[in-house]
Amino acid sequence: MTNINSKKYQAKILRTFRKVHRTTGALLFIFFFFIAVSGVILGWKNHSNGLIIPKSFEGTSTNLKHWLPLDSLHKKANFILHDSISADLSLELDRIDIRKNKGILKFVFKNHYWEIQLDGATGNLLNIGKRHSDFFENIHDGSILDRYFGTSNGQIKVIYTTVMGLALFLFTVTGFWLWYGPKRMKRIKS
């Protein structure tokens, strides 16, 4: 039976953890790099003066009773997208972001990251912007691979986030032990 308090046993654990830590880091380096860079960019998106995510403007009324019907606002956003950017762009929506407290709607399109901001009450165009943040979110969570390969239910994203989450957990445990293990060994009597 191995004495878990022996220096030899502790040294063996340290070597194993070091090897796991190093190998996992080498295998997943590029993914950690993309997660880190995209995470920093996403952290700064609201402080980028419209470079990463378009600035939200103010509409004329926050009272929904004064707003135009959603279907007419949607038609107007589609018209603006085709008229102002390109008639070749898909009109498939990713979402409609309603900002009642600002009196605006953001029509966010699915396949090309464009956003059309309209005043909810007048239907006037407030802004046309490219949502670079959505692109970086897709990189960060791996869903960009689902888009590229055309998978239907985000299977790659689920696998990617599971592997990366488990790898981060493994790095945390092995990293802690690589720091704590030598301190423990110093206290063990031979």
**Per-residue tokens: 54:** 């378009």
Q: Which long-range contacts (CB under 8 A, 24 or more apart) does 10-17 make?
A: 10/181, 10/184, 10/185, 10/188, 11/185, 13/177, 13/181, 14/177, 14/178, 14/181, 14/182, 14/185, 17/173, 17/174, 17/177, 17/178, 17/181
The predicted structure's pLDDT at residue 89: 97
Residues 61 and 123 in one domain: yes
Residues 58 and 115 in one domain: yes
The predicted structure's pLDDT at residue 37: 97
In which residue ranges of the chain is pLDDT below 50?
A: 1
- Evaluate whether residue 98 is within a structural domain: yes
Task: Mark which of 130, 146, 165 sits at the end of a domain.
Answer: 130
Residues 76 and 126 in one domain: yes
- The answer to whether 122 touches 138, Cβ cutoff 8 Å, is no
- Evaluate whether residue 149 is within a structural domain: yes
Task: Mark which of 85, 103, 130 sits at the end of a domain.
Answer: 130
Phi, psi for 51 (deg, rounded to 5): -75, -40
The predicted structure's pLDDT at residue 3: 65
Q: Which domain holds residue 153?
A: 7-44+138-187
- The answer to whether 145 touches 136, Cβ cutoff 8 Å, is no
* Whole-number Å distance between alpha carbons of 112 and 44: 21
